[in-house]
Amino acid sequence: MISSGAGRFTLRATEGAARRGTLSLAHGDVETPAFMPVGTAATIKGLTPDDLRAFGTQIVLANTYHLWLRPGRETIEALGGLHAFMCWDRNILTDSGGFQVFSLESRRELSEHGVRFRSHLDGSEHEFTPENVVAFQEDVGVDVAMTLDVCVKLPAPAGEIDQAVRLTSAWAQRCAAARRRPETALFGVVQGGLDERSRERSARELVALELPGYAIGGLSVGETREELHRISRFTAALLPAHKPRYLMGVGTVSDLLAGIDGGIDLFDCVYPTRCGRNGRALGRTEDLNIKNAAFARDARPLDETCACYVCATYTRAYVSHLFRADEMLGPRLLSYHNLALFSQLMAEARDAIAAGHWAAFRNQHLHPMSP
């Protein structure tokens, strides 16, 4: 096992469990708490790198499974690595592809060695092991790599959860031993379903590896909102205070605020861009289905509290027209707004924690949001 040259985390302020910190990575600092836009196939759907920089994105997420299949490691390496390939000069985190593989169900076969699966694109057979997943992420030059883990659908029987925890820990050990690139920080993934004892075991075994950071996986896979918040808060408290904590796959306004309140530093989710493609404008106090006829002559911005380019430039009426006319600019503008809103929310949360005003900020913004 080698020591990491990246992934240093500085805790700058706390209020209750909420944390304000800085994660130092190879392509710059990430001020936390932070939301990571999801660029599954090396692109945030509908947006350019300049768009992301305009509203302050510090780090994006890409997906090992999808990049492994298309365009493949050799192409990405030949074109200078993932940063050069996607024209992004800030940080990139790649998940291990484990969630995508395990969601294939009938297309995969799990063993102690790893997981064999068939591509959803052409049916070709592939194998992920802890070693080759780490090698892929390091070879394409990402800033944060994730260990290969086993995710289960919830609710899950005790035996299935036990196997997931056991393999996740064993594979994390192998991932740590396989590390070769100091510039890539390796994060472990805590599993355990909704069982607190399994979460404790998983966290204990992963923390013993002294990795640069830790993620909370296995949520947003069928549990209730209350269970999500309870288990994420419980698990965050098991993780080292001096390491970053990442809650995987969570991304509504209320879930982000609840996560920050529970001690989470990093988030990712396809939710804001998926909503953008489907006509849903996210807001601090309410969401809008912009395709509704009520907005056809509405001259207000999407969200009157939002300072993004879209809200400063376009009316609800115009964006509504774009969707009803099936114009591609509509999904692009809503995706921009939704991610910009999240970026603003994270910046304001950081300021509130630093100033000792987190509780008031949380209570002002926390409101029911349906997925």
Annotated active-site positions, please? 95, 268
- At residue 289, the 3 state secondary structure works out as strand
Token pair for 332: 């692009």
Return the amino acid letter for 37.
P
Element (H, E) at 254: helix 253-261
Phi/psi of residue 129, each to 5°? -125, 160
Q: Are 58 and 33 in contact (CB under 8 A)?
A: no
What letter does residue 107 receive in the DSSP assignment? Answer: G
Cβ neighbours around 43 below 10 Å, total: 15
Q: Are 302 and 336 in contact (CB under 8 A)?
A: no
Q: Are 361 and 348 in contact (CB under 8 A)?
A: yes
Element (H, E) at 30: strand 28-32
Cβ neighbours around 224 below 10 Å, total: 10
* Closest to 18 measured CA to CA, from 357, 364, 369: 357
Q: Are 134 and 186 in contact (CB under 8 A)?
A: yes
Token pair for 81: 């690595």
Q: Are 369 and 35 in contact (CB under 8 A)?
A: no
Return the amino acid letter for 44.
I
Query: Strand 245-247 relative to strand 266-269: parallel, antiparallel, unpaired?
Result: parallel
The DSSP-derived string for 50-102 is HHHHHTT--EEEEEHHHHHHTT-HHHHHHTTSHHHHTT--SEEEEE-SHHHHH
Distance between CA 307 and CA 292 in Å, rounded? 23
